[in-house]
Amino acid sequence: MDVALRRLRAEDIEQVIEIEREAFTPLWLGTSFKRELNNRYARYLVACQPEQTGPAPDNPSASVADAAPESRPADASLWGRMVRGVREMVGKEPPLNGAVPDIAGYVGIWFQGNEAHITEIAVREKLRGQGIGELLLIGSVRVALENGSTVLTLEARVSNFIAQRLYEKYGFKEVGIRKNYYSDNREDAVIMTTSPLHANEYQELFGQLQAAFLARWGEINISC
Ligand SMILES: CC(C)(COP(=O)(O)OP(=O)(O)OC[C@H]1O[C@@H](n2cnc3c(N)ncnc32)[C@H](O)[C@@H]1OP(=O)(O)O)[C@@H](O)C(=O)NCCC(=O)NCCS
């Protein structure tokens, strides 16, 4: 898998807003990602193309990432497919003032007391079902562990079975319902939480899930 996780940067915000708009209802109150960048009680991660550091063979002064998109060899990797998928989606013209989009998804985590809380998680529609949501969740658990948070919690629409399946896979259990939580259609939210993250039981589960992810999708490249 040639998708990496890293912290959100200011230059990612335009694309992250695009993904947020695509993923959530038009009435969703958009996140102020700019403000969140400076929030010491939050961490935002993006799934993106791994950083390219080496020079292109035919041009020692330029990195592969600098090369004009059309001059890069077509590749069958997830990243190559993603770029082509997004191009197809938007027509011939690449979006974002000519820049090739390089953010596949994002997740927001807030630290509230002893707990870490996932506020939003979303993957570009065209790229779903390829392990990117799972990678973002692995990153969230790692961030919560590093922060010393005892558990990871979140809310999901009762109708959002796909997201709930993902969370259940990572040991989240339903612990309650918030009635009429979503203002657009007054839908209830299911509150989900993990068991204690540092306990052996969760560590074992998380270890097995990461190993299975690795076997299925390949290398996990996380720098957050
Ligand atoms: C939820 C979301 C982030 C999942 O991302 P994704 O990249 O498509 O998910 P992955 O490919 O990593 O799949 C991971 C797991 O999610 C669940 N899942 C994903 N797609 C699914 C589907 N179509 N049906 C059922 N479960 C599904 C499965 O448990 C899957 O694990 P598996 O492959 O072992 O079965 C993505 O669907 C999304 O962006 N949705 C819109 C925004 C949203 O609803 N966010 C959640 C708010 S609470």
Residue nearest to atom 43 of ligand 1 (CA): 122
Backbone angles phi, psi at 55, to 5 degrees: -75, 150
Q: What is the reported pLDDT for 52?
A: 56
pLDDT at 101: 52
User: In angstroms, what is the span from residue 84 Cα to ligand 1's centroid?
Assistant: 21
Please give the pLDDT value at position 100.
43
Predicted local confidence at residue 53, as pLDDT: 47
Which of 48, 120, 159, 162 for a ligand 1 pocket mutation test, highest count of atoms within 8 Å of Cβ?
162
Nearest-angstrom CA–CA distance, 213 and 52? 23
134 Cβ below 6 A of ligand 1: yes
Per-residue pLDDT of the chain (224 residues; tens, 9 = 90+): 689 999 999 999 999 999 999 999 877 777 899 999 999 999 999 999 887 544 433 333 333 333 333 333 444 555 555 444 444 433 333 333 434 458 999 999 999 999 999 999 999 999 999 999 999 999 999 999 999 999 999 999 999 999 999 999 999 999 999 999 998 899 999 999 999 999 999 999 999 999 999 999 987 777 76
187 is catalytic: no
- For the CA of 124, the nearest atom of ligand 1: 39
Of 36, 106, 155, 182, catalytic: 155
Structural domains in the chain, CATH included, are 4-223 (3.40.630.30)
Question: With a threshold of 0.85, does the pTM exceed it?
Answer: no
pLDDT value of position 72: 39
Is 44 considered catalytic here?
Answer: no
Q: Does ligand 1 have an atom closer than 6 angstroms to the CB of 42?
A: no
Considering only CA atoms, which residue is closest to atom 14 of ligand 1? 134
Count CB neighbours of 101 within 10 A.
Answer: 21
User: Which pLDDT score, from 0 to 100, does residue 198 have?
Assistant: 98
